[in-house]
Amino acid sequence: MTMPSSARLQVHLYSAGAARVWIEQCLSASSWVGLANYTARYAALQSTLNQVHQCLSQGLPCHLAVLTPETAHELQQAWPDRVERVGSLGRAVTGWVVLAGDQQVYDISTPEALGQTLRQLDVLLVPDLQASSGGRHLDRVLRQLHLKNSGIQTMQSFPGGAQAVAALKDHVGSRVMACAQATEIQGADHARYLGPFPAPFELSTEYLVVLVRPQPGPRASQDAEAVRLARDLGMHLCDPQLHAHRTRLGFE
């Protein structure tokens, strides 16, 4: 039996972890499910950027990417004819997360209070301090609080904030916090968002959707339908009329 051409479409997405829940919700909606086979890969910001660069340089399939404005600009500078901004998902605030049933006090209201709270932890769960946007920010804050190399009993690193939040379950009964973006705690019933970094250490990260066109050549014409669908999907992800949906998932 001959399948409709849309059923054979393959759409590939590479995204920073902050957008995972929103993307998965959209791709599971009936309006998108039957249009293509979607392959979505989620990683820390720098890893995502590196993967998209690799796709572009090696001719590997990539149709959409979710990056920060700075990394999207870097990608556009390197590939000006193949990368196009679609729109913004909004901003995700980086902050602190504890176990939902943990009734201990964790004061994060000022830099001094945050520093003292971090010193009193048994375990600190963090996103990658080099590859993730939240992790790089946390690394700078720890240095300013003189906690980078000492003062924290145990610090465990994960690829992203969502994995750090998931690991909270392994430390029931301990004084434990995780650092993550507000969008990365969605669906984690075991976790409770405490709040953002105190001033002047606040971090709010914008995420953009960019369209990646295929390399010129015979494959470009074959991939045109997938590119059109990817553009439509990117516009849906960023649709201003869906702002309330994204807000419920942690975006601002």
The residues spanned by each domain of the chain are 5-91+204-248, 93-196
3-state helix, strand, coil in the chain (%, to 5): 40, 25, 30
pLDDT for the residue numbered 220: 67
Residue bearing tokens 């830099």: 111
- CA triple 129-130-136, angle to 5 deg: 60
Transcribe 58-84 into DSSP letters. HT----EEEE-HHHHHHHHHHSTTTEE
Whether cis (ω within 30° of 0) applies to the bond prior to 200 is yes
pLDDT for the residue numbered 1: 30
User: What is the rounded distance in angstroms from the CA atom of residue 107 to the CA atom of residue 114?
Assistant: 6
Name the β-bridge partners of 90. 207
| Residue ranges for the chain with pLDDT beneath 70 | 1-7, 218-222
pLDDT for the residue numbered 151: 83
Say which amino acid occupies 56.
L
Helix (H, G, I), strand (E, B) or coil at 243: helix
pLDDT for the residue numbered 148: 84
pLDDT for the residue numbered 187: 85
Distance of CA 160 to the CA centre of its chain: 8
The model's pLDDT over 197-228, given as tens digits with 9 standing for 90+, comes to 999 999 999 999 999 998 877 666 668 999 99
CATH: 3.30.2270.10, 3.40.50.300, 1.10.10.60, 3.40.190.10. Which one for 93-196?
3.40.190.10
Same fold for the pair 5-91+204-248 and 93-196:
yes
User: What is the rounded distance in angstroms from the CA atom of residue 173 to the CA atom of residue 171?
Assistant: 6
The model's pLDDT over 106-148, given as tens digits with 9 standing for 90+, comes to 999 999 999 999 999 999 999 999 999 999 999 999 999 999 8
Q: Please state whether beta strands 64-67 and 10-16 pair in parallel, antiparallel, or not at all (unpaired).
A: parallel
Q: Is domain 5-91+204-248 annotated with CATH 3.40.190.10?
A: yes
Look at residues 8, 163, 172, 25 and name the one whose alpha carbon lies nearest to residue 104.
Answer: 172
User: What is the rounded distance in angstroms from the CA atom of residue 118 to the CA atom of residue 198?
Assistant: 13
pLDDT for the residue numbered 216: 78
pLDDT for the residue numbered 215: 82
Contact 20, 47 (CB under 8 A): no
Contact 190, 100 (CB under 8 A): yes
* Token pair of 91 as six digits: 């901003």
Look at residues 116, 104, 115, 123 and name the one whose alpha carbon lies nearest to residue 168.
Answer: 123
Using a 10 angstrom Cβ sphere, with 0-12 exposed, 13-18 middle and 19 or more buried, the burial of residue 194 is middle
